[in-house]
Amino acid sequence: MPHYSSRAHRPGHYSAYPQERRSPKRVWRYTAAAGCLLLIFLFATSSPVPTAKDAAQHINPFGPAAHQPPAERNGTRTGEARWYNHWKWLNPFSDSITDDESRSVLPPPPERRPIYAYYDPDAAKDDEVEAAENKLLLIWRRAWWAQGFRPVILGKAEAMHNPMYERFQVRKMEHALGAEFMRWLAWGQMGTGILANWLILPMGPYDDHLLSHLRRGEYLKLTRYEGLGGGLFSGDKTSIEAALNEALDSSDLKESKSLLDLIPSKTFTVDPKPSAIAFYDSSTIAEHYKTVSASLTDSKAAGLFSLSELITSHLHLTFLNAFSS
C-alpha cells in the first residue's frame, strides 16, 4: 500500500476522475461566437440615428398636431376640407375650390344655440303620466328645433355634477324650491344658454325679434321675461353661478317657495312679454282652456294627452299663418 508523505501529494476527487481540459483555441472560438451574436442583437434592435426633422416629428407622437396656417380671408376650413364663402363652391368636383379631388364640399350648417329644459322622470310616479309627459317633451324638442335651436333635456345627473350641489344638499328648504334649485343647478353645469320650461313653446315666425336674438347667442346679462314667471331665462355661466350663490346664501331659504324670491331683482334684466312665446302653465290652462283643465283634474295622464293635442294644433296653426301661400 503506497505511503504519502504529505497531504499535497494525495490524489483528490478530480485526480481520481480527471476532466477534459479545453484548449485555448476552443475558448477563443466560443468567445468570438458570443461576441458576434451580441453585435447582431444590438444592431437588430437599435434604430438609426434620427435627424433633426425626424426628432421634431417623433419627439411626442401623442401630442397635438402642428398648427395649420390661417385660412384664407374669403374662405373657411374644417379639418382638411376647405370651401369659399361665395358661390364658387357650387362648382362641382373642383379640387381648386374645395381642396378635394373627388367630391364637392358644402359649408357646414350654422351652429344651433342650445336651449335647455329640466325633466325629472321620478316625479311622474305613474307610467301613463310619464308617457304623456314624454310626448310633450317630444313636441317641445321638435318645436324648438324647427326654430333653429338645439333642444336638450337635462336631468338629475347634470345637477349633481355641479360643484354647488354639495352646498345645496345641506340646505333645508321646501320640496318645490328644491326641484327648482335642481333645475338651475343643471343649467349652471351646462353653462351659457337658455333655460325653458318644457311647456314653453315658440309660437311665432322664424324671423321674430326675440327668437332671432336668442339664436345669436349674445346673453350678456341674466334675463327673464314678463308674464312668463320662471318659464324662460337666458344668461351666461358667470351670471347663473352668481344668482345661485345669492339664493343659497339667502336667509329666507327655509321659508321661500320660489327661487325668484331669493335672488335680488337687480340680478335680472326683465324684458317685455314676448308675443312669439306661449306658456301652457296651470293658470293659463285654467283661464283659457277649460276642457283641458277639467281633464287634468279628472285624470292627469288624460289631461296631458289632451294638452299635447292642443299644443300640436296651435303649432300647426302657427305654421299655416307663417306660410299662408
Each residue of 162-204: pLDDT tens digit?
Answer: 999 999 998 888 888 999 999 999 999 998 899 999 999 999 9
Name the residue type at position 318. Answer: T
Each residue of 38-80: pLDDT tens digit?
Answer: 777 666 555 555 444 444 444 444 444 332 333 444 445 545 5
For a pLDDT cut of 90, what percent of the chain falls above it?
49
Higher pLDDT, 124 or 224: 224
Q: Give the three-state DSSP class for 219.
A: coil
Backbone angles phi, psi at 126, to 5 degrees: -160, 135
pLDDT classification of 300: cutoffs 50, 70, 90 = very high
Place of cell 329666507: 252
- Residue 52 Cα distances to 48, 49, 63, 67, angstroms: 13, 10, 18, 19
pLDDT on residue 106: 61
Cell of 187: 343649467
- Residue 292 pLDDT greater than 80, yes or no: yes
pLDDT on residue 139: 97
What average pLDDT score do residues 74-97 get?
Answer: 52
For a pLDDT cut of 70, what percent of the chain falls above it?
70
What average pLDDT score do residues 94-120 get?
Answer: 70
pLDDT on residue 104: 54
pLDDT on residue 13: 47
Q: In which order are the strands placed within the sheet that holds 193-196?
A: 149-154, 113-118, 193-196, 232-235, 223-225, 269-271
pLDDT classification of 22: cutoffs 50, 70, 90 = low
Each residue of 140-167: pLDDT tens digit?
Answer: 999 999 999 999 999 898 999 899 999 9
pLDDT on residue 276: 94
Give the DSSP letter string of 75-113: EEEETTEEEESSGGGGSTT-HHHHS-SS-PPPPPPPPPE
Chain-wide mean pLDDT for the chain?
79
- Residue 279 pLDDT greater than 50, yes or no: yes
pLDDT on residue 33: 77
pLDDT classification of 265: cutoffs 50, 70, 90 = confident
β-strand 277-279 against 200-202: which pairing, if any?
antiparallel
Least confident of 31-35, 282-286, 291-295: 31-35
pLDDT on residue 254: 86
- Residue 310 pLDDT greater than 80, yes or no: yes
